[in-house]
Amino acid sequence: MHRFALLMSAVFLAACSTGELRLVPAEDWRGLKPDEAASAASFREVSRKIGQEARAQCKRSDRTESCDFGIFVDLDPAAPANAFQTLDDQKRPAIIFTRSMIESTRNTDELAFVMGHEAAHHVLNHIARQSKNASIGAAKFGEAERIRGKGDAAVERAQKLGAKVGVQAYVQDFELEADQLGTIITFNAGYNPLVGAKYFDRIPDPGDSFLGTHPPNAERVQIVLETSRKLGLSP
């Protein structure tokens, strides 16, 4: 499980440990329990503002097929705190928050920052770029095995490993890119990314493990600070 940010392949409403994802559009989210009503109202407001700014950034950058953002809540009560971006079958971007993710944010700035980060992954076309990196890695590793005279099974194993290595090579750069643009989206939507990034203080630090999908939290905070300074914000 990747907390906060999970780049999925271009499969929508696909496999999930508990079966089909059941989603509610952000504008219709009212919470399922009385104590969720307040955070649901915040979520609707943040979704509207971040959605608007994400569309504007997306159209300006013109790197993806669709800028028609959908923002949803995953109804699964057992789903851990997570937010991720994916594409539907028409390549439209979808940002999905689990209920526990919404509950785990402390204010609208944090909610906006997490949403801005996920929106940035789409504006920067990360899913397509990641899948291209996987293909290149698979082709290189597979070809190397073939040249060594290995059979189909060994070539296929090498391709699978190559795909992973190809993704791994850029995954942390993508996270930092998304933090940078996410900071801008958060700010332009009327929220404070410096307050929003406090969310990092509460999530486990992946440190600098070689196979980590996320950069160390300190590196991410640094990007937010630098970008905020350029926007004229100071801590």
Residues of this chain that interact with Zn ion (CB under 5 A) are 5, 175, 178
Closest to 203 (Cα-Cα) out of 46, 36, 102, 81:
81
- Give start and end residues of each alpha helix (H) in the chain: 37-61, 99-104, 108-123, 126-147, 152-188, 193-196, 217-230
Rg (CA), the chain: 19
| Cβ 91 to Zn ion shortest distance, Å | 19
| Cβ 128 to Zn ion shortest distance, Å | 15
- What is the DSSP pairing of strand 23-25 with strand 70-74? antiparallel
| Cβ 64 to Zn ion shortest distance, Å | 16
| Cβ 232 to Zn ion shortest distance, Å | 25
Exposure string over 157-171, b if 16+ CB within 10 A, otherwise e: ebbeebbebbbbeeb
Given the complex with Zn ion, which of 133 and 159 has the nearer CB atom? 133
Calpha distance 30→175 (Å, rounded) = 31
Written as six digits, the tokens of 86 are 């994916």
| Cβ 172 to Zn ion shortest distance, Å | 10
Question: Which residue number is nearest to Zn ion in terms of Cβ?
Answer: 5
Given the complex with Zn ion, which of 146 and 164 has the nearer CB atom? 164
